[in-house]
Amino acid sequence: TSLEWFENSARYMGQHPLQLTFNLMTRSKRITYGNLAERDPELVERVREWWCAEQGAPGAKAPIFAPFTLRDLTLPNRMVVSPMCQYSAEEGIPGDWHLMHVGARAVGGAGLLITEATAVCAEGRITHGCTGLYGPEHVQAWRRITDFVHAHSATPIGIQLSHAGRKASCSLPWEGDRPLDGETAWPTIGPSADAFDADWPVPRAMNRADMDAVTEQFVQATERALEAGFDLVELHMAHGYLLSSFLSPASNLRTDEYGGDLEGRMRFPLEVCRAVRAVWPAHMPLAVRISATDWLADDGHTAEDSVHLSQQLSEAGCDLIDVSSAGNTPRSEPGYGRMYQVPFAERIRHEVDVAVMAVGAIQGWDHANTVLAAGRADLCALARPHLVHPHLSLEAAVEFGQDDQFWPPQYLAAKPSPAE
C-alpha cells in the first residue's frame, strides 16, 4: 500500500498541506482519524477544521457530518446505507420486511439510503426473492416505503435498478445460492453465450432487439422510481450483472460493435445510462455503481478502464460513481481487507471530475472519517455496519456531539443535551 502511494504521489501534490500530511500518514490504513486523534489531537483538529471549512460546513464535528449536495439533493451527512439484497420479496413486491429494514436505517439518521438491487423485469431478478420495479403493484409497494422514510426521517432514499443477466435465476443465499433448475428456473441473457461458471446455464447472447427491450425496461423502471417517490436512481453496473458483464472482457466475448475494445464494451451500458438520464428529472441525481476491477492478472476489466468509464458516465449525466469491484468471473482474486476498494475510488476522484462514493469493508465512522479527510472519496457506503447498527449515524452524532442531525421525536430521550 505504501509503495503504491509513493509511486503515485504526484496525484496528491494539489492537496492542501494538512490534507496531504493526513493522507500520507493514513496511507497504510493502520493509522486512522480516530487513533491519530488519540496520539495527536491537535493535528487531527486542524485537519478537521480545515476540511470542514473547505466543505462549507464549519459546524461539523467530524468529516462525516459535512452535508453533501448532488444536483438539488442535499445529504445531511456522508454515511450511506449501501444497497443490500434482502431476498424477501414476493413476485418482486417489497413487503413488511423491507419497510422495517429500510425504515429503521432511515430513522437511524443515514445521510442517504439506497435500496437493494431492484430488477427492471421479472427475468432480471437474481432470485425469486428479489425486489422489482416493473409493474404498478411494485410502485405502490415502494411508495409505502418512501412515504414512511420521508415522513419520519431526513434521509433521502435512492433505488438501485438492476438486471442480473447471466447471474439471474438463482436460489436464495440461505438455500444454496446456486442456479435454479427445472420448472423453477427461467432463461437468462448476457452479452455472450458464455456461462458464469462451469455448472451454470449458458445465457442467450443478446441481439439488438434484446438491447432495445432492456433499455426500455430501465427507462420504464426509472419513470416508476419517480412515481414511487425516490430521490435518486442508481444504475447497477457492477458485480457481474448484465450491464457489468458487458464492460468486462472476461464476460463480453462479442465481436460486433458491442464487444472488443473498451469503447465497444462500454457502448451498451452507456446507451442505458443516457436513456435513463433523459427521463430522470434534471434536478435529481443519477448514480452508477461499477466494479472498478475484475481482480484478474490477465483479461479482466481494470482500474485504468474504470477511470475512462467514469469519465464517460459523467459525460452521460451521471453525478456519482459508486466504486465497488469484482463479480464478473469466479476467477477473481480480490485483495480483501479493511477499506480494500477505497484506492480505486480515490484514483477516480483524483482523475475524473465527478463525485465518488467508496464502499467495501468500511467498518464504521472512524474509517469513513479517514477516507473523507484524506480526500479519497466524497461519500462512504457502509453495508454490514448498518445491519448490526441501524442507527449508526445517530450513534456517531452522540459520539461526536453533533446536535444538528435529525432525531425522530420518539427517540429524543436518547439525544444528549448540549450540556452533556
**pLDDT higher than threshold 80 for residue 3:** no
User: Cα angle at 71 between 67 and 74, to 5 degrees?
Assistant: 25
Q: What is the pLDDT of residue 419?
A: 52
Task: Pull the grid cell for residue 281.
Answer: 428529472
Nearest to 76 by CA among 404, 415, 304, 414: 404
Mean pLDDT across the chain: 97
Domain ranges of the chain: 66-401
User: Known catalytic residues?
Assistant: 241
The helix-helix angle for 208-227 and 136-152 (nearest 10°) equals: 40
The rounded percent of the chain whose pLDDT value lies above 70 is 99
Q: What is the pLDDT of residue 100?
A: 99
pLDDT tens-digit map of 67-83: 999 999 999 999 999 99
**pLDDT higher than threshold 70 for residue 418:** no
Q: What pTM did the predictor assign?
A: 0.97
pLDDT tens-digit map of 381-409: 999 999 999 999 999 999 999 999 999 99
Query: Other CB atoms closer than 10 Å to residue 2's CB: what's the count?
Result: 9
Query: Other CB atoms closer than 10 Å to residue 255's CB: what's the count?
Result: 9
**DSSP-assigned letters across all residues of 185-234:** ----EESSS--SSTTSPPPEEP-HHHHHHHHHHHHHHHHHHHHTT-SEEE
CATH topology classification for 66-401: TIM Barrel (3.20.20)
pLDDT tens-digit map of 307-339: 999 999 999 999 999 999 999 999 999 999 999
